[in-house]
Amino acid sequence: MSSPHFPHLLAPLDLGFIQLRNRVVMGSMHTGLEDRFWNYGKLAAYFAERARGGVGLIVTGGISPNRTGWLLPFGGTLNCHADTLNHRRVTRAVHREGGRIVMQILHAGRYGYHPLQKSASPIRSPITPYRPKQMTESDIRSTIRDFARCARLAKLAGYDGVEIMGSEGYLLNQFLCRRTNQRTDDWGGDIVARMRLPLEIVKAIRAATGDQFLILYRLSLLDLVEEGNTWDEIVAVARGLQEAGIHILNTGIGWHEARIPTIVTSVPRAAFREITGRMRRELKIPVIASNRINTPEVAEDILASGDADLVSMARPLLADPHFVIKAASGRADEINTCIACNQACLDHTFSMKRATCLVNPRACFETERTASAARTTKRIAVVGAGPAGLACATTAAERGHRVTLFDAAEHIGGQFEIARRIPGKEEFAETLRYFGRRIETTGVELRLNHRVERTELEAGNYDEIVIATGIRPRTPAIAGIDHPKVLSYLDVLARGAPVGASVAVIGAGGIGFDVSEFLVHDASHERDNSIAEWMDEWGVDPTSSTPGGLKPALRPNSPRKVYLLQRKNSRVGAGLGKTSGWVHRLTLQHREVEMIAGVEYERIDDLGLHIRVNGEPRLLEVDHVVICAGQESLRELYPEPPAREGGRYHLIGGAEHAAELDAKRAIRQGSELASRL
Q: Active-site positions?
A: 170
Residue 390 or 505 having the CB closest to ligand SF4: 390
Helix, strand, or coil (residue 71): coil
Residue 385: name its binding partner from ligand SF4, ligand NAP, ligand FAD, none (Cβ under 5 to 8 Å by kind).
Answer: ligand FAD
User: Measured between alpha carbons, how far is residue 587 from residues 395, 537, 542, 555, 590 in Å?
Assistant: 37, 9, 20, 9, 5
Name every residue whose Cβ is closer than 8 Å to that of residue 604 and which is 6 or more positions away in sequence: 478, 479, 480, 481, 483, 485, 486, 610, 625
| Residue-level length of the chain | 677
Contact between 269 and ligand FAD per CB under 6 A: no
CB 446 within 8 Å of CB 405: yes
Residue 344: name its binding partner from ligand SF4, ligand FAD, ligand NAP, none (Cβ under 5 to 8 Å by kind).
Answer: ligand SF4
Residue 345: name its binding partner from ligand NAP, ligand FAD, ligand SF4, none (Cβ under 5 to 8 Å by kind).
Answer: ligand SF4
> Nearest Cα to 364, choosing from 667, 41, 31, 57?
31
Contact between 422 and ligand FAD per CB under 6 A: yes
Backbone phi and psi for residue 487, each to the nearest 5 degrees, phi listed first: -125, 155
> Nearest Cα to 167, choosing from 315, 28, 292, 314?
28
Contact between 422 and ligand SF4 per CB under 6 A: no
Residue 566: name its binding partner from ligand NAP, ligand FAD, ligand SF4, none (Cβ under 5 to 8 Å by kind).
Answer: ligand NAP
Residue 119 or 312 having the CB closest to ligand SF4: 312
Contact between 451 and ligand FAD per CB under 6 A: yes
CB 637 within 8 Å of CB 454: yes
Please report how close the Cβ of residue 44 comes to ligand SF4 at its closest, in angstroms.
20
289: Cα separation from own chain's centroid: 17
Residue 629: name its binding partner from ligand NAP, ligand SF4, ligand FAD, none (Cβ under 5 to 8 Å by kind).
Answer: ligand NAP
Contact between 338 and ligand FAD per CB under 6 A: no
Residue 386: name its binding partner from ligand FAD, ligand NAP, ligand SF4, none (Cβ under 5 to 8 Å by kind).
Answer: ligand FAD
How far apart (Å, rounded) are the C-alpha atoms in residues 342 and 414?
21
Q: Is the dihedral of CA 256, 259, 260, 261 positive or negative?
A: positive
Return the range that interacts with ligand SF4 (CB under 6 A); candidates 352-360, 520-528, 539-547, 564-572.
Answer: 352-360
* Through-space distance between the first and last CA atoms of the chain, rounded to whole angstroms: 38
How far apart (Å, rounded) are the C-alpha atoms in residues 20 and 14?
6
User: Measured between alpha carbons, how far is residue 97 from residues 56, 332, 539, 657 in Å?
Assistant: 11, 22, 44, 41
Contact between 409 and ligand FAD per CB under 6 A: yes
Contact between 429 and ligand FAD per CB under 6 A: no
Residue 30: name its binding partner from ligand SF4, ligand FAD, ligand NAP, none (Cβ under 5 to 8 Å by kind).
Answer: none
Residue 314 or 341 having the CB closest to ligand NAP: 341
Name every residue whose Cβ is closer than 8 Å to that of residue 193 and which is 6 or more positions away in sequence: 183, 186, 187
Query: Which residues in the 598-657 window bind ligand FAD by CB under 6 A?
Result: 634, 637, 653-654
How far apart (Å, rounded) are the C-alpha atoms in residues 98 and 47?
12
Residue 36 or 657 having the CB closest to ligand FAD: 657
How far apart (Å, rounded) are the C-alpha atoms in residues 180 and 169?
9
User: Measured between alpha carbons, how far is residue 285 from residues 55, 191, 193, 223 in Å?
Assistant: 21, 21, 23, 22
Contact between 237 and ligand SF4 per CB under 6 A: no
599: Cα separation from own chain's centroid: 33
Among 594, 602, 623, 662, interactor with ligand FAD by CB under 6 A: 662
How far apart (Å, rounded) are the C-alpha atoms in residues 674 and 398?
9
Residue 236 or 346 having the CB closest to ligand SF4: 346
Map 306-332 to HEC letters: CCCCEEEECHHHHHCCCHHHHHHCCCH
- What residue is closest to ligand NAP based on CB? 509
Residue 340: name its binding partner from ligand FAD, ligand NAP, ligand SF4, none (Cβ under 5 to 8 Å by kind).
Answer: ligand SF4
Among 416, 563, 601, 638, interactor with ligand FAD by CB under 6 A: 416
Residue 250: name its binding partner from ligand NAP, ligand SF4, ligand FAD, none (Cβ under 5 to 8 Å by kind).
Answer: none
CB 448 within 8 Å of CB 426: no
Please report how close the Cβ of residue 223 comes to ligand SF4 at its closest, in angstroms.
23
Preceding omega of 387 cis (within 30 degrees of 0): no
Residue 24 or 499 having the CB closest to ligand FAD: 499
Contact between 345 and ligand SF4 per CB under 6 A: yes
DSSP assignment of 403-455: EEEE-SSSSS-THHHHHTTSTT-TTHHHHHHHHHHHHHHHTPEEE-S----HH
Contact between 666 and ligand FAD per CB under 6 A: yes
Residue 509: name its binding partner from ligand NAP, ligand SF4, ligand FAD, none (Cβ under 5 to 8 Å by kind).
Answer: ligand NAP
Please report how close the Cβ of residue 357 comes to ligand SF4 at its closest, in angstroms.
3
Contact between 419 and ligand SF4 per CB under 6 A: no
Return the range that interacts with ligand SF4 (CB under 6 A); candidates 20-28, 212-220, 336-344, 643-651.
Answer: 336-344
Maximum Cα–Cα distance across the chain: 83
User: Measured between alpha carbons, how far is residue 427 from residues 278, 325, 346 in Å?
Assistant: 27, 22, 17
Residue 325 or 422 having the CB closest to ligand FAD: 422
Contact between 510 and ligand FAD per CB under 6 A: yes
Contact between 580 and ligand SF4 per CB under 6 A: no
How far apart (Å, rounded) are the C-alpha atoms in residues 132 and 145?
20
Contact between 457 and ligand FAD per CB under 6 A: no
Q: By rule CB under 6 A, what count of residues binds ligand FAD?
A: 38
251: Cα separation from own chain's centroid: 17
Return the range that interacts with ligand FAD (CB under 6 A); candidates 95-103, 314-322, 508-516, 544-552.
Answer: 508-516
Phi-psi region of 636 (alpha: psi -120 to 50; beta: other; left: phi over 0): alpha
Residue 303 or 504 having the CB closest to ligand NAP: 504
Please report how close the Cβ of residue 621 comes to ligand NAP at its closest, in angstroms.
20
Return the percent helix, strand and coil in the chain, to nearest 5.
Answer: 35, 20, 50
DSSP assignment of 151-174: HHHHHHTT-SEEEEEE-TT-HHHH
Among 43, 241, 260, 318, interactor with ligand SF4 by CB under 6 A: 318
> Nearest Cα to 169, choosing from 95, 259, 290?
259
Contact between 663 and ligand FAD per CB under 6 A: yes
Contact between 341 and ligand SF4 per CB under 6 A: yes
Please report how close the Cβ of residue 339 comes to ligand SF4 at its closest, in angstroms.
5
Contact between 357 and ligand SF4 per CB under 6 A: yes
**Which residues of this protein are in contact with ligand FAD, per CB under 6 A?**
341, 343, 383-389, 406-409, 414-416, 418-419, 422, 451-452, 468-471, 493, 510-511, 514, 634, 637, 653-654, 661-664, 666
**Which residues of this protein are in contact with ligand SF4, per CB under 6 A?**
315, 318-319, 338-345, 357-359
